[in-house]
Structure 1
Amino acid sequence: MAIIGVCAAATSYLLVRNEASDFLDNQLRQIALYVGETRSSPATGPDSGAPHDPEDDFVIQVWDVAGKPLRLSHPDVDIPRQQATGFADISTARENWRVYTLATSNRTVQVSQDMSVRQELAASAALQAALPIIVLLPLSLLTLSWIIDRIMARLNRLAVTVASRDARADDPVPIDDVPAEIVPFVSSINLVLARLRALLERQRRFISDAAHELRTPLSALQIQIDNLRHDDRDRRFSQRLTELEAGIARATGLVGKLLRLARYDAQETAPAPQPIDLVQLALDTVARLTPLAESREIDLGITRQDEAIAIGALADFEVILDNLVENAVQYTPPSGTVDVAVIVAGQDARIEIRDTGPGIAEEEMPRVFERFFRARPQDSEGSGLGLAIAKAAAERQGARLTLAMREDGPGLVASLVVRTTLLSVPA
């Protein structure tokens, strides 16, 4: 701004000097023309060809005591003679004049100047005063914008870094390239992240330790039930043992799911990727869950088998499909159907599980992947962890898992979309 101010001042100085020089030079010229008793005029004088603005010319009028004109520099301009010495504003048919009259004992001298000359000078002075400001404003905005961009560039990079962080990332935000004024704020964020990381780590350890601790007594109870079943002779007692065994099985399943979820939360390294035949994966899943479907009188089968090969961890894909198909079987009423299909579209393969169950209410759909959330009906068997585990496994394998209501009737459609490869399955 100092540089701009200096340049503006120098420009104004040059403009005003040139304007004043032209105006004062014309005054010198006119004084030279009107001095003495000769009757020269600006139009007929010896320098009548000198460049000048005619509007800047003075109108000189001289009368004797009797009122007889002695000199008229511009005979075509009729400005009335004033009687008293002083300044006056006179208007004629064409112009407005500023007049100075000097009345003496032997003559009257009257000098007039067009008022437009003064207006031009005022307008020129105003423009020259405003021009530096007019130039300074946009240049100042551009300069200020450039300065702010330079200063805030590091802060913008920090914002991009924070915005692009994965939701599960818990490492500190780097402060190497952070403006000094923002370092305390970023340090506070890192402190909060450290506390959150410690809290999540304690939670993971608690779930893992609790699952490990519960597995041992549950296994011992199962062994004791097996021993009692071999020794018992009372049929009613055997029925109670069966109910107790079912409860222990459910508790064991819940502990296993908690342990698996804790491992996903801990972001353990996934098993080595390998080619997976998705059709064979679907067949194996259906085979494993067919006894459960038959016990509930559910028609479980495969309706489409497009050849598709994916690269990933087989254990994770088995967890995903087992949970999806088991959920479909659990929520489908007796005599219903659960259809599994492997569909290839371009570079993607989609495994669909369609059931004829009650589906999920629209207002509950956003919460289906939450832990321990169970959609209506609440009386169905399940822990509310299956879909959460399937979602975590799908994210680890880079697959996309979605749920939607069927369009061709009641029921739900669970879709697992994975990227396929051109590898062929060995014979």
Structure 2
Amino acid sequence: MKLLTTLRGRLFALLALLGGVTALAVGGATYVSVRAEADQLFDYQLRQTALSLRDQGRVASDEAAALADPGLDYVVQIWSLQGLELYSSRPQGMTEALPARAVLGFSNLRLAGQDWRVFGAATPLRVVQVAQPLGVRQRLAALAALRSVAPVAIALPLVAAAVWWLLGVSLAPLARVTQAAQSRGANARDALPTAGLPGEVAPLVDAFNGLLGRLGEAFDAQRSFVADAAHELRSPLTALKLQLGLLRDSAPGEEQDAAITRLRGGIDRATHLVEQLLALARAEPGAPAAEQPLDLTELARQALADVQPLADRAGVSLTLTAPDPLPLTGDPQALRGACRNLIDNAVKYGARTVQVSALRGARGAPLLRVDDDGPGIPPEQRERAFDRFQRGEGVDAPGSGLGLAIVRAAARQQGATVTLADSPLAGLRVEIHWPDATAS
């Protein structure tokens, strides 16, 4: 049974089964063909024997001796028209005579436990009947079938050994790939060898190499993310440590209150950075997403309410255009966070007016759009704006540079895409496009 668990063993078993079925088919076809030919030949002999005896006045002694040969498997009977038996032969071992009544032409009958083929002929003077056991024909056909199968049976061990060796040679490249994969360490991400692989196996190894490449990119991105996160966290934690020292050394009163305010602000910034990092980690490819029916219009309204206090303090006007509910399927927390980050970025980076629109785009697919009248992003820097911890040149607004990275990651997790363009308000336009498949 263990042999059948390997590809080589399964192929060998299938080929052996095919060889056995072929041998049986050849033997069966040979038996049927030889039996048909034997029937024609023996029927012809029966007819010729009967016709050669019907016109003779008597059976010559030499013919009678030949017909009485114990090894002869024919039975010959001759009667006169009056029913008088003129001659009758009986093969050795035959215990019962043929019926003394002839049927002209060919016929079959059952006698003494075996089947007989009979031919009868009549003349104006006599009736001749010649019979032969059908077992003779069956034995001849079976012997011919056995002879046709015997060479296959004799050659079968040699053919089986050759097939086993050829399968081993054909699967040797796959064995080398298996050995190469088993000999690698946990951190090895080099492509597996594909030289000499069969056409049916090469795509599988190519796909596996592609998976290794994507895993390598994911591991590199993860290491880069951890390094960047550690670097970004070092600064606020150091600032918190310094502010705590200033608070300890400050005198009670206004100086201490200012130190407490600065410490609270540092804690808020560190908390916001950690929240952004967690949001980005939840939106990374491969992270589990809560798929459930939701309304894009309601999500945009909730995100707008989240940022409204910050907009009020900064004197920024927020508006929402969403005439109809926009049902879709996705992760409400991730999508709400993405929309909130877009509005928050517009407010923090100098916009005075922010317009949020939830509408249907091309072919009726949901579309989320955020327009502002801020400084915008130059076209040559828009792709880099999606990188982690990337902030625009000359920007002094507070933030971690993770907003657009979180938006793109969350959109990809939901099967959507993010684009940046010039806004009619003279600032930046950000759009999240959903494909038709996610619309309900």
TM-score class, shorter: 0.3 to 0.5
| TM-score normalised by L of structure 2 | 0.46
Question: Where is the helix percentage greater, Structure 1 or Structure 2?
Answer: 2
| TM-score normalised by L of structure 1 | 0.47
